[in-house]
């Protein structure tokens, strides 16, 4: 199975991606995680994107397309996957279509997680992520807390409120999201791939609705 997850920051995309990974044995491909890893490793890509991420702005399409294309090159390329945060623009979707076409890996569905902006702003204040580049797990103190307050369940690192999760940044990220997502979704709607799922329900209900939508039950 091959999915793209679309949703604003705070819609629970990362959480649902993780569940899809464990339910279907998929590879997880999160461009936010990949870019933050590049920053942590101090690569040229990392140096280029660091100020953009800090301001809540998107990295340039050719750069992100290159990062994803590299992942799909070579013998260890993912065959079944969930994309978290890519493609984010119509131009990225066009580049990804052509990459997947070359690789003969057609998408099964684009899951569009829907949530009002005000709800996003409320939720995001509770988000805490693991700064360990080899982990990157995210929690929410309101609805998905770690077992021990302030500590990552997976690797024990102290959790942080990321710069790009701060309120001023989140408002800019929402603006960017709306600016790009209409044309992204209409691109995929024309391919009849989009499944709209409300992201305001409890995590388990959202997951069940995603599965039902993917299987064509709703």
* Binding residues vs ligand AMP (CB under 6 A): 9, 31-32, 35, 52-53, 56-59, 64, 85-86, 88, 92, 164, 173
Rounded to the nearest whole angstrom, what is the least distance from the CB of residue 92 to ligand AMP in the complex?
Answer: 6
Q: Is 19 a catalytic residue?
A: no
Nearer to ligand AMP, 84 or 207 (CB): 84
**Dihedral sign (CA 143, 145, 150, 151):** negative
Q: Is 154 a catalytic residue?
A: no
Rounded to the nearest whole angstrom, what is the least distance from the CB of residue 70 to ligand AMP in the complex?
Answer: 14
Rounded to the nearest whole angstrom, what is the least distance from the CB of residue 149 to ligand AMP in the complex?
Answer: 23
Longest CA–CA span in the chain (Å) reads: 46
Nearer to ligand AMP, 134 or 215 (CB): 134
Query: Which residues sit opposite 39 in a β-bridge?
Result: none
Name the residue number minimizing CB distance to ligand AMP.
32
Nearer to ligand AMP, 68 or 194 (CB): 68
Q: Which residues of 39-63 are buried (b: 16+ CB within 10 A; e: fewer)?
A: beeeeebbeebbeebeebbbbebeb
Q: Is 162 a catalytic residue?
A: yes
Q: How far apart are CA 199 and CA 17, in angstroms?
A: 13
List all residues 6 or more positions away from 46 whose beta carbon is below 8 Å from its beta carbon: 35, 37, 38, 39, 40
Nearer to ligand AMP, 75 or 185 (CB): 185
> Exactly one of 36, 88, 123, 128 is catalytic; which is it?
88
Q: Is 54 a catalytic residue?
A: no
Nearer to ligand AMP, 177 or 216 (CB): 177
Q: Is 134 a catalytic residue?
A: no
- Length reported for the chain: 218
Rounded to the nearest whole angstrom, what is the least distance from the CB of residue 208 to ligand AMP in the complex?
Answer: 24
> Exactly one of 2, 123, 128, 173 is catalytic; which is it?
173
Residues 134-138: contacts with CB within 8 Å, 24+ apart?
A: 136/30, 136/33, 136/36, 136/37, 138/14, 138/15
Placement of tokens 């003969």 in the chain: 104
Rounded to the nearest whole angstrom, what is the least distance from the CB of residue 178 to ligand AMP in the complex?
Answer: 14
> Exactly one of 2, 127, 128, 195 is catalytic; which is it?
127
User: For the chain, first and last CA: distance in Å?
Assistant: 18
> Exactly one of 2, 13, 36, 123 is catalytic; which is it?
13
Residues noted as catalytic: 13, 88, 127, 162, 173
């Amino acid at each position: 199975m091959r999915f793209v997850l679309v949703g604003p920051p705070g819609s629970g995309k990362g959480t649902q991606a993780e569940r899809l990974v464990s339910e279907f044995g998929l590879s997880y491909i999160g461009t936010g995680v990949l870019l933050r890893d590049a920053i942590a490793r101090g690569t040229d890509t990392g140096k280029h994107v660091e100020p953009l991420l800090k301001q809540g702005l998107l990295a340039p399409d050719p750069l992100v397309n290159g990062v994803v294309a590299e992942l799909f090159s070579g013998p260890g390329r993912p065959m079944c996957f969930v994309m978290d945060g890519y493609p984010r623009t119509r131009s990225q979707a066009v580049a990804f279509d052509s990459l997947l076409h070359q690789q003969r890996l057609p998408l099964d569905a684009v899951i569009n997680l829907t949530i009002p902006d005000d709800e996003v702003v409320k939720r995001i204040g509770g988000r805490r992520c693991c700064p360990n580049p080899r982990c990157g797990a995210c929690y929410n103190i309101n609805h998905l807390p770690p077992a021990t307050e302030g500590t990552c369940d997976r690797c024990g690192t102290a959790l942080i409120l990321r710069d790009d999760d701060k309120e001023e940044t989140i408002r800019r990220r929402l603006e960017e999201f709306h600016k790009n997502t209409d044309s992204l979704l209409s691109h995929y709607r024309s391919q009849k791939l989009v499944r709209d799922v409300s992201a305001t329900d409890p995590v388990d209900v959202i997951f069940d609705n995603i599965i039902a939508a993917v299987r064509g039950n709703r």
